Amino acid sequence: MTHVAAFDAAFARCPLIAILRGVKPGEVETIGETLVEAGFTLIEVPLNSPDPLDSIGRLAGGLKGRAVVGAGTVLTTADVAAVADAGGTMIISPNTNIDVVAAAAGAGLVSLPGFATPSEAFAALAAGATALKLFPAEAASPAVLKAMRAVVPAGTRLLPVGGIAPETMAPWLAAGAAGFGLGSALYRPGMAASEVGDRARAFVAALGR
């Protein structure tokens, strides 16, 4: 199975990306297991976390076959190569950097760039993006997402990221959101794994499946 096919299968099971910004390698495996037990299948470690490549390697090894693991805040093509070497298969960025998108796609990795305009969305798709991250979602709205959905190619997955909570998901889903990236409402540095699990279950329940 290709990395993109594995992502597609994981996304179909649970279209929520856990963003573990600030996580440390010593705690990441416990938190990863807790997330998978709650139903999550997609986990991101931002590269501005402590020793992120170590954490990505631990998750990729420990959750192999159960979750797709990757990096966030990927800003350069060198970062793409480093994440791949660590075992990560998702390349997630806050911006639309065509070189980063093309490097990830060219390596057979999943590319999830951030976008805020139709121009960025179309440029990212042309470069090989797997799905698109509407970021920051706080600066947009479900109405904006609905308008985007009307112009991007049918089947394009748009994921609001930023400020998403279980109680705010319904309007986004109604507007056509395919999934979400979840940050501080799911995980904050130092949070106990049990609390992360409780929050993860609340997000899964809010999907309404």
Any long-range contacts for 138-142 (C-beta under 8 Å, 24+ apart)?
138/162, 138/163, 140/116, 142/171, 142/172, 142/174, 142/175, 142/177
Question: Cα(106)–Cα(88) distance, rounded to whole angstroms?
Answer: 15
CB atoms within 10 A of CB 197: 17
Query: Is 37 noted as a catalytic residue in this protein?
Result: no
Q: Which DSSP category does 162 fall into?
A: S
β pairing state of 110-112 and 90-92:
parallel
27 is catalytic: no
Check if the beta carbon of residue 12 is closer than 8 Å to that of residue 39.
no
Residues 6 or more apart whose CB falls under 8 angstroms from that of 78 comprise: none
The answer to whether the beta carbons of residues 137 and 183 sit under 8 Å apart is no
Of the candidates 24, 33, 44, 167, the residue annotated as catalytic is: 44
Element spanning 198, H or E: helix 193-206
CA distance 173 to 25: 33
Selecting among 29, 37, 64, 133, the annotated active-site residue is 133
CA angle 15, 35, 103 (to 5 degrees): 55
The catalytic residues are: 44, 133
